[in-house]
Amino acid sequence: MTEHSDAAVAAEHKDELLQRLRHFHSDYFPLHQQRFQDLVSEGQHPKTLFIGCSDSRLVPYLLTGAGPGELFVVRNVGAFVPPYDGSHGLHGTTAAIEFAVLSLHVERIILCGHSHCGAIRAAYDGVPAEAVALRAWLKLAQEALLPVQASPEAMRRTEQRAVVLQLERLMAYPMVRREVEAGRLTLHGWHYVIEEGEIHIFDVQKGSFVPASSASNSGTGPYQPYVENEGRVFSL
């Protein structure tokens, strides 16, 4: 073996991401191969659109116990929903909502914010001058901000208000409103408290967030049980 190839092998072993890709292929994939192949031959039919913050601590699959094919996911800074204006603008989140509702016919939309959200913090504190797109994007939280010092309590309330604000914007999407009113689509407003490992669910009747441990269901709007393809009932 040459010196060069020794170095190459050493580099390969240091490339942890490469090791993880190999681990997925050799260890995880064989266990779930049939599921993946079914999802290719039958196509994807996720029942849930998950709109979440990009924060690395928010892990939708862990929180919901979902596997491949179950969640159609769109994530952005803050888990914000742009206003529906029927324009041809390049809004990735808007396009994902249209696709999920009109083509995938999802049965629920989860809007998931979280504690210690950097987007909400930045909406109070501002961003670097060069971050012009980010500054414009954070305006989507403007109405949720409180005219107080950004204390931990104010931050949490703002994060929760931001979730409700995005749900209201979702309801202004014609296809979302139509499906909700027809009883084919439910909305779930969630605030994930990282340090407690618990989702707090917005209850539209109570007008407040209820910890999942004491909530009567996982939804915000008209509630329907969550049943996945194989008839397994998830107790979220």
Q: Which of 46, 49, 52, 55 binds Zn ion (CB under 5 A)?
A: 55
Which residue lies nearer to Zn ion by CB, 117 or 199?
Answer: 117
Distances (CA, A) of 114 to 158, 159, 200: 10, 7, 9
Q: For Zn ion, which is the closer residue by CB, 3 or 195?
A: 195
Q: At its nearest, how many Å lie between Zn ion and the CB of residue 51?
A: 12
* Closest distance of CB 119 from Zn ion, Å: 5
CB 15 within 8 A of CB 8: no
Question: Which residues contact residue 183 at a Cβ distance below 8 angstroms, ignoring those fewer than 6 apart?
Answer: 222
> Shortest Cβ distance from residue 50 to Zn ion (Å)?
14
Rg of the chain (C-alpha set): 20
Q: How far is the CB of 55 from Zn ion (least distance, A)?
A: 4
Cα 174 to Cα 189: distance, rounded to the nearest angstrom: 19
Beta-carbon-side half-sphere exposure of residue 81 (alpha carbons within 13 Å): 28
- The first and second tokens of residue 220, run together, are 């915000």
Task: Report in angstroms the alpha-carbon separations of 93 from 31, 78, 105.
Answer: 33, 12, 16
| Nearer CB in complex with Zn ion: 126/174 | 126
Taking the complex as a whole, how short is the minimal distance between the CB of residue 16 and Zn ion, in angstroms?
25
Quickly count: other Cβ atoms within 10 Å of residue 60's Cβ: 18
Query: Toward Zn ion, which CB reaches closer, 33 or 142?
Result: 142
User: Phi and psi (nearest 5°) for 143?
Assistant: -70, -15
Nearer to Zn ion, 39 or 145 (CB): 145
Among the listed ranges 3-11, 38-46, 54-62, 205-213, the one in contact with Zn ion (CB under 5 A) is 54-62
Out of 49, 53, 167, 176, name the contact with Zn ion by CB under 5 A: 53
Q: Assess 70 for contact with Zn ion (CB under 5 A).
A: no
Distance in angstroms (rounded) separating the CA atoms of residues 15 and 197: 31
| β 198-203/208-211 pair status | antiparallel
> Which C-beta is closer to Zn ion: that of 32 or that of 57?
57
Per-residue binding letters, 88-127, with Zn ion (x by CB under 5 A): -----------------------------x-x--------
- Minimum CB–partner distance for residue 196 and Zn ion (Å): 16
Question: How many amino acids of this chain bind Zn ion (CB under 5 A)?
Answer: 4
The residues of the shown chain that bind Zn ion, judged by CB under 5 A, are 53, 55, 117, 119
